[in-house]
Amino acid sequence: EVQLVESGGGLVQPGGSLRLSCAASGFTFSSYWMHWVRQAPGKGLVWVSRINSDGSSTSYADSVKGRFTISRDNAKNTLYLQMNSLRAEDTAVYYCASDPWQLNWFDPWGQGTLVTVSS
Amino acid sequence: DIQMTQSPSSLSASVGDRVTITCRASQGISNSLAWYQQKPGKAPKLLLYAASRLESGVPSRFSGSGSGTDYTLTISSLQPEDFATYYCQQYYSTPPTFGQGTKVEIK
């Protein structure tokens, strides 16, 4: 069974940092593109970042470019999102999602981890 | 960025009703469209991709159609487990973008 489990969310002050992790199992992680998508409370879905299968290529939404870094460790079957200079508007549930066809659609998704940026 | 506009934003329907949700892209996306279902407190789930291709395990009462800039998701006979929020998403160009969602509620 394909499974994605996020961790690392929590409460952080504005300007602070946080690293999210997404542990993958049940599929050949090293063959798949991976993404982070976020959802602010009561709002819609917003794509955040993508990384290709070997980690050599990344892409970011303009709203997080220069502040967030996506990475992966294929030996550990784990995806990461390093978030720096956090702002109140980064408050959201962050989902990791796999992209088996490398087409920028998302299937499946993890259960999400909540990041709250507040003083 | 390609803007995706869904309509309606919400609707009320009864079990057994036929429901149609529309998604319009700000430019042509060549059927590069996915639909997701999200229930409260849960992650989204892929229903269809390539505008009309049903994801494995998704009931056949869900269908998709469209071309160019205009796409629809149809639920042929609404079931109790279908009450949820539905999102369209274009993957024609980066960044991938979502519609604002359509909440399907019980009448």
The 10s digit of each residue's pLDDT in B31-84 is 999 999 999 999 999 999 999 999 999 999 999 999 999 999 999 999 999 999
Check A104 against B45: CB less than 8 A apart.
Answer: no
**Are B44 and A45 inside 8 Å of each other by CB?**
yes
The pLDDT assigned to B6 comes to 98
Q: How confident is the model at residue A85 (pLDDT cuts 50, 70, 90)?
A: very high
pLDDT of residue A46: 98
Q: What is the pLDDT of residue B86?
A: 98
Neighbour-count burial of B22, counting CB atoms closer than 10 A to its CB (0-12 exposed, 13-18 middle, 19+ buried): middle
Q: Do A108 and B87 touch (CB under 8 A)?
A: no
Distance CA A98, CA A112 (A): 13
In DSSP terms, which residues pair with B75 in a beta bridge? B19, B62
pLDDT band, very low/low/confident/very high, at A50 (cuts 50, 70, 90): very high
Confidence of residue A47 (pLDDT cuts 50, 70, 90): very high
Interface contact flag, B34 A106, Cβ < 8 Å: yes
Residues in Cβ contact with B85 at an 8 Å cutoff, skipping those fewer than 6 apart: B37, B38, B39, B101, B102, B103, B104
pLDDT value for B50: 97
Specify whether the CB–CB gap between A14 and A119 falls below 8 A: yes
How high is the pLDDT of residue B15? 96
CA distance A95 to chain B (A): 8
Contacts of A44 (CB under 8 A, 6+ apart): B87, B98, B99, B100, B101
Average per-residue pLDDT in chain A? Answer: 97
A61 touches chain B (CB under 8 A): yes
Q: Do A111 and B43 touch (CB under 8 A)?
A: yes
State whether B95 and A47 contact (CB < 8 Å): yes
Chain pair A-B, CB pairs under 8 angstroms: 54
- Disruptive mutation site among B90, B92, B97 for chain A (greatest number of A CBs within 10 Å): B97
pLDDT tens digits for A7-37? Answer: 999 999 999 999 999 999 999 999 999 999 9
pLDDT of residue B80: 94
pLDDT value of position B9: 98
Which residue in chain A is spatially nearest to B95 when comparing CA positions? A61
